[in-house]
Chains A and B, each alone.
Chain A
């Protein structure tokens, strides 16, 4: 379970998060929508401790992320994150990209790590690209590789940060299909997304962020069908 309580975060004078409260249960898929600069992506990087927070707390399975004595490297093993930019390691093959963390972080043997990597890469449809370097992959393939890389650590949670935003339109589908697959398998996911139909079809709950606050949260049908807040209505009509 991820518990986010009253989280504040500023970059210099700019207040990005102004008191966010959100609890995500195991097995739940929560989509976060909202305009750019609404603090959606920042929240994700705070959840796995890549960014410090100014106030409030984030607790993952009973471990407070920003507590001084928390071993972030250990905590991050169970919180995968996939970024908007694919962030492939360009000097490693697809297989090596995926086996690196299991081997170095979990101390797995090469054989075991490769077994898991092949399994995860097949899962995202890249079984035929094992020994290719990332530069030879399309954007969609690179992004699916990044998903496999996160999955190979067998995380309990995966955070998706606008994973389709940097893709050509015709490549968006293949990545969303992978996300849907994971959701169907019961993975706990927080997806920051601009894909409204994805948010509607796949999520258990949809949260709308506006200027650093969570303006509204609810079931997809309610958020898209009967938004309670004026800002939500405005945002949804602007993206439709």
Chain B
């Protein structure tokens, strides 16, 4: 029969790691989305030339591997003597990384709103701000949501990289157990199941919203 040395306490250890994964992801996604919406709206409203510096910085966050960003940021804050904990550093770096992708999603979604629809809104006497909040945002939300869900799920998995700053999140916790128990297959299976359990509700929420909106559109 099937036999494992994995104890209930070990499982709790993993779940604790999952909690860390979830909180890093939550901070990153919330922070990154807020920033991303701000930058995305900005980018869609100003000329490409004026947006160039912003685009350049965000391109760096998108193209340099996350692992390098994490290690450099952590090293930099240590040298600068800021005394920021690895957890906070991880959250900040991941949030910036998320924001870079989110900016593009938001910009694309806003630009997908037909200019004639916006014209119709303005022609009714709506201000620029009213057009944005009443027409553009709700319409863009429907366009951008699937990509945003994808980004969130991606960030959750990418967050495993924060283990290199010494944070024991889900994957690091399972690695520790693998080293101790020498049951890589089983432990990774459990780890995968936990990741799935974390991701599944988010993916479901996304498809539910999509479906509801599709019935109208």
Contacts and interface: CB of A to CB of B under 8 A. Distances in A.
A83 B126 contact: no
A85 B122 CA distance: 15
A108 interface: no
Interface stretch (A20-28, A87-95, A120-128): A87-95
Contacts of B217: 90-91, 133, 135
Query: Looking at B116, B122, B123, B216, which has the most chain A CB atoms within 10 Å of its CB?
Result: B123
18 contacts: A76-B125, A80-B123, A83-B116, A87-B119, A89-B121, A89-B135, A91-B142, A91-B213, A91-B216, A100-B134, A101-B126, A104-B126, A104-B130, A104-B134, A105-B125, A133-B217, A135-B216, A149-B124
A219 interface: no
A77 B134 CA distance: 17
A92 to B, nearest CB: 8
Contacts of A77: 125
A83 B120 CA distance: 8
Contact of B124 (A74, A91, A105, A135): A105
A81 interface: yes
Which 4 A/B pairs are nearest by Cβ-Cβ distance? A87-B120, A101-B124, A133-B216, A76-B125
Contact of A87 (B116, B127, B130): B116
Interface residues of A, number: 25
B117 interface: yes
A101 B125 contact: yes
A146 B216 CA distance: 18
Interface in A64-111: 73-74, 76-77, 80-81, 83, 85, 87, 89-91, 100-101, 104-106
B116 A74 contact: no
Given A83-B116, A89-B135, A50 B216 contact: no
A180 to B, nearest CB: 23
A60 to B, nearest CB: 13
Interface of A: 48, 50, 73-74, 76-77, 80-81, 83, 85, 87, 89-91, 100-101, 104-106, 133, 135, 146, 149-150, 153
B126 A73 contact: yes
Contacts of B138: 91
B42 interface: no
Contacts of A81: 123
A69 to B, nearest CB: 16
B95 to A, nearest CB: 29
B124 A76 contact: yes
Contacts of A150: 124
B124 A50 contact: no
B139 interface: yes
A74 B117 CA distance: 19
